[in-house]
């Protein structure tokens, strides 16, 4: 299932922040400011990654997926687990996903990417990158779950 579209990648912005940090133009206090809400979302709905935190290098980053869209009503702005996204994408016409990386060790956080999901994309032509990977990862996650 490949429905992700209008993917915006924020890795350039992230590199710029890290450059500023290493150059001393900003302090770690400025970039390691994850709110308690974001950290809770990471704990309860986050997707563990194999990527080391670029700041403390002692913890792996967790990805949090926030969903936005008119159809979501009171659920808009909530964090959802990666496994829930393909289900939502089948039931809703269109919603926006913001992926935020957060380090539970030092509170580093940064926007990773944003993209659109939903049934509206299914009618369009060829497969696109992004949430298909999310769907695949979610499936793998369930498989890991099943093996326990």
Binding mask 52-71 for Zn ion (x = CB under 5 A): -x-xx---------------
Cα distances from 17 to residues 2, 55, 70, 92, 108, in angstroms, run: 31, 11, 32, 35, 11
Nearest approach in angstroms of CB 9 to Zn ion is: 21
Among 1, 105, 119, 120, binds Zn ion (CB under 5 A): 105
Residue 52 Cβ vs Zn ion, minimum distance, rounded to whole Å: 8
Q: Is 117 in the site for Zn ion (CB under 5 A)?
A: no
* 117 neighbors 4 (Cβ within 8 angstroms): yes
Residue 34 as a binder of Zn ion (CB under 5 A): the answer is no
Residue 39 CA to residue 42 CA, distance in Å, equals 5
Dihedral in degrees, nearest 10, Cα atoms 29, 34, 39, 41: -170
Of 42 and 88, nearer to Zn ion (C-beta) is: 42
Smallest gap from residue 17 Cβ to Zn ion (A): 13
Per-residue x/- track, 75-104, Zn ion (CB under 5 A): ----------------------------x-
Residue 9: strand, helix, or coil: strand
């Amino acid at each position: 299932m490949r429905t992700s579209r209008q993917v915006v990648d924020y890795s350039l912005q992230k590199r710029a922040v890290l450059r500023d940090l290493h150059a001393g133009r900003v302090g770690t206090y400025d970039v390691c400011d994850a709110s308690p809400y974001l950290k809770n979302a990471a704990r309860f709905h986050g997707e563990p990654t194999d990527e080391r935190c670029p700041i403390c290098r002692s913890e792996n980053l967790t990805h949090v997926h926030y969903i936005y869209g008119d159809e979501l009503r009171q659920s808009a702005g909530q964090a959802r687990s990666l496994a829930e996204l393909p289900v939502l994408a089948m039931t809703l016409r269109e919603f926006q996903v913001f992926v935020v990386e957060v380090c539970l060790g030092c509170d580093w956080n940064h926007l990773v990417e944003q993209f659109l999901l939903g049934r509206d994309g299914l009618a369009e032509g060829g497969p696109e990158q992004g949430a298909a990977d999310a769907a695949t990862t979610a499936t793998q996650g369930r498989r890991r779950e099943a093996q326990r």
